Amino acid sequence: MASGPLPPNDELANAVPITAAVTSQNTAGATVAAGEDVSAEVPLDVGSTVWFSYAAQTDGPVTLTTLGSSYDTTLQVFRVTDPSQPVSYGNLTELDVSDDIGQGPLPPGGTSQVNFTATAGQTYYVQAGGSLAGGAATTGDLVLNASPPVCFGRGTRIRTARGDLAIEQLAVGDLALTAAGALRPVRWIGRRTVDCAGYPAADTVLPVRIRAGAMAPGLPDADLVVSPDHCLFFDDVLIPAKHLVNDATIVREDVGSVDYWHVELDDHDVLIANGMPAESYRDCGLHRFFVGGETWGDHRDPGGNEAPLHAPHVVGGPRLHAVKAWLIGRAKHRGAPRTDDPGLQVMADGCVLTPTAIRDRRFDFDVPDGVQALRLVSRSSVPAHWIADNEDPRRLGVCIADIQLDGASLRLDDAGLTAGWHPVEPCGTKRWTDGNAVLPVGRRLTVQADWFLGYPLPDRNRGQATAPSVREAPRSLRLVARA
C-alpha cells in the first residue's frame, strides 16, 4: 500500500455497510491492493478503490449508481463464491461491472451503474474505484436504487393556501396544506426527466397511475401518477404505490420517459395530491437525483441519517393486505374486466400455430419445416395484484406440467427452457412461464398447461390496456380448454 492517509474502507475487510440510500466516501490516497484490478487498464494513472457491503433485505433486482465523480470510474459488484469460507478477494464472484475508464470524469448527475438480482439474507460486496492522471481520485456518491427517490408525475395538483396548484406551478415559500390540516411552507421543489426505456432497472422508475375514484368516490379526484416507491397515506401508515397495483384501477405504465417532481417541507409530512393523501419528499440525501439538486447540499443530521418518517412504512403483512382487499373489492365493484382464458398460443418465427388437438388442457401442435424459433405465449397476471393476502410479485403466464417434443418428454429444468421461464416449483412437477417463454424447436410439440389466476383485460372504456405488459390474443384464436 502507498503511504499517506487512506480511506477506512480501502480494504475489503473494512467494507462500509450501505444502510441508507446514499453513502459517500473520499478515496484520496488509496491505491490498488492485491487482488484489486481497478486501474489495471491505465497503469500510469493513480488508482484508488473503496469497498462497500450490501446486506439484501428482500429478493429482487438492485441497482447501484455513482452520481458523478472527479475521475474515470469503475463500479463492480460481487457475491461471495463460497459462503462457508471467509470473505476474501479470492472468494468473490463478479456479478456485474460498469467500466467508464477512458471516458473522463463523470459530470454531476452522470452515472456509472451495476445491476444484480439479490437474495434476501445474502451480503454483496461493491467496489468503487478508478483513475485520475496526475493525482489521487475522489469518489462521487454511491446510490442504492433499492430506495429510489419518490416523486409525483407532471400535472399533479398539490393543495395549498392558494388552492390546488399544478406541481410545476408551485414556488418555494408557498404554503402547502397537509393531511392534518396544517399550512406548512414549501422548502424545496425538485424535478427530473427519467429515461425509462434506457434505465437499467426500469421497474424502479416506471410510474404507477392511480385512477380517479380508485380508493373511494372522488379519491383521488383525478388520475394520480407517482413513482413506484412513492407512499400513499392510509389512516396512520404509509404504503408504496407499487404494493397497491391491481392491473385495473391502479396500474404500472410502460412509458419511454417520465417527468418526476417532488416537494419538500421542513419535515416529512403528508400532502394532498389530486385529493389523495400522499407523502412529501423525505430528505435521504438524494437531492442530486433532481435537476439543480447537486448544489443543494446535505441537510441531514451530522450522522447522515435519513429524516424521520411521518408514519410507519408498511410493505407487507395484515395492514397491507387489508388495504389491498379494499382496493381490489372496489375494482371489482367498478367492473374491472378479467378473463379465465389464457389466450395460449405457440409462435413459430413470429407466426401463430393453431393446435391440431386440445384435450384436458393438453395442446398438440405440428411445427412446419424450417422453423428457427418457438415461443409459448399467453396472457399473464401477478398473484399479488389480485389476491389481497398474496405477496408473490412474479408475473405468471401458464403453469406447465409436461412438454413433449417429437414424442419425447422434456425435463422441466431442460437447458432449452431459457428466457420466459420461472424456476421449477418446489414440488418439482410444475413450472410457470411469464407469458412469453422460449421453447426448443422440434416438428411435433405437446404442452400440458394449467391456469387458475384469471387475467386482466384491456379497459375498452378507456381505450387502453389496464396492464400494458399483458398480451392479448387475437379474438379468432382464443382458446379455453375445460378439464
* pLDDT single digits (tens) 37-48: 333 333 333 345
Task: Kindly give, in sequence order, each residue whose CB lies less than 8 Å from that of residue 79, ignoring residues fewer than 6 positions away.
Answer: 92, 93, 95, 116, 122, 124, 125
DSSP 3-state helix, strand, coil percentages of the chain (rounded to 5)?
10, 35, 55
Return the higher-pLDDT residue of 251 and 12.
Answer: 251
Q: What is the pTM of this model?
A: 0.71
pLDDT value at position 51?
78
CA–CA distance, 217 with 92 (Å, rounded to integer):
54
Radius of gyration of the chain (CA): 25
Q: Are 214 and 331 in contact (CB under 8 A)?
A: yes
pLDDT digit string, tens, across residues 146-185: 455 678 999 999 999 999 999 999 999 999 999 999 999 9
pLDDT digit string, tens, across residues 342-380: 999 999 999 999 899 999 999 999 999 999 999 999 999
In 3-state terms, what secondary structure has residue 396?
Answer: strand
Confidence of residue 35 (pLDDT cuts 50, 70, 90): very low
Percent of the chain, pLDDT > 90? Answer: 51
pLDDT value at position 461?
60
CA nearest to 127, candidates 64, 52, 54 = 52
CA–CA distance, 252 with 277 (Å, rounded to integer):
20
pLDDT digit string, tens, across residues 71-83: 445 678 899 999 8
What is the identity of the amino acid at 245?
Answer: V
pLDDT value at position 97?
81
- Long-range CB pairs of 477-481 (<8 Å, 24+ gap) are 477/343, 477/345, 477/352, 477/354, 478/341, 478/343, 479/341, 479/343, 479/344, 479/355, 479/358, 479/363, 480/340, 480/341, 481/358, 481/359, 481/360, 481/361, 481/362, 481/363
Q: Are 431 and 216 in contact (CB under 8 A)?
A: no
CA nearest to 448, candidates 411, 377, 414, 398 = 398
DSSP letters, 134-194, are TS-----EEEETTS----EETTPEEEETTEEEEGGG--TT-EEEBTTS-EEE--EEEEEEE
In this structure, how many other beta carbons lie within 10 angstroms of the beta carbon of residue 35?
A: 10
Beta bridge partners of residue 252, listed in sequence order: 208
CA–CA distance, 260 with 377 (Å, rounded to integer):
34
Q: Are 397 and 432 in contact (CB under 8 A)?
A: yes
pLDDT digit string, tens, across residues 93-121: 988 887 654 444 444 334 566 777 778 77
In 3-state terms, what secondary structure has residue 231?
Answer: strand
Q: Encode 327-342: b = buried (16+ Cβ within 10 Å), e = exposed.
A: bbebbeeeebebeebb
Specify the DSSP element, H or E, that contains 61: strand 60-67
Intra-chain end-to-end CA distance of the chain, in Å = 70
pLDDT digit string, tens, across residues 235-248: 999 999 999 999 99
Q: What are phi and psi of 202, to 5 degrees?
A: -60, -30
